[in-house]
């Protein structure tokens, strides 16, 4: 587990909208990192609530558009399909090994 509480939301005073290298960005100061010695040491950890706020604020401040949302959904469907194909292939291999 993490050494501190998971960040579940982005508070109004914990973000700003800026431009970095000409790109609009949402800058937050809430970041949870995996604790030292864990398998996710140093990795960024995002709760569902945090991701939902990040997504909503990105839409509200026009960093993301509805067209971007469609692209994200297409990517998600592609990832899901790819993951299912990998699971199916693994199941086929197991069945062949058991035969």
Kind and range of the H or E run holding 44: strand 44-45
Q: Could you report the per-residue pLDDT of 34-69, keeping only the tens digit for each?
A: 778 888 888 888 888 889 999 999 999 999 999 999
The tally of CA atoms less than 13 A away on the side-chain side of residue 51 is 5
pLDDT band for 13, please (50, 70, 90 cuts): confident
β 32-33/44-45 pair status: antiparallel
- For the chain, the structural domain boundaries read 1-64, 65-99
> Is the dihedral angle over the CA atoms 61, 63, 66, 69 positive or is it negative?
negative
Task: Give the pLDDT of residue 75.
Answer: 94
Kind and range of the H or E run holding 85: helix 66-98
Task: Give the pLDDT of residue 5.
Answer: 65
Task: Give the pLDDT of residue 45.
Answer: 82
On whether the pTM is more than 0.75, the answer is no
DSSP 37: T
């Amino acid at each position: 587990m993490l050494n501190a509480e998971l960040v579940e939301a982005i508070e109004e005073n914990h973000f700003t909208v800026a431009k970095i290298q000409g790109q609009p960005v949402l800058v937050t100061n809430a970041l949870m990192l995996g604790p030292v010695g864990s398998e996710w040491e140093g990795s960024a950890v995002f709760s569902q609530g945090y991701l939902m706020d990040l997504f909503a604020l990105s839409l509200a401040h026009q960093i993301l558009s509805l067209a971007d949302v469609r692209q994200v959904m297409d990517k998600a469907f592609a990832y899901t399909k790819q993951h299912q194909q990998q699971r199916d292939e693994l199941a086929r291999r197991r069945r062949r090994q058991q035969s």
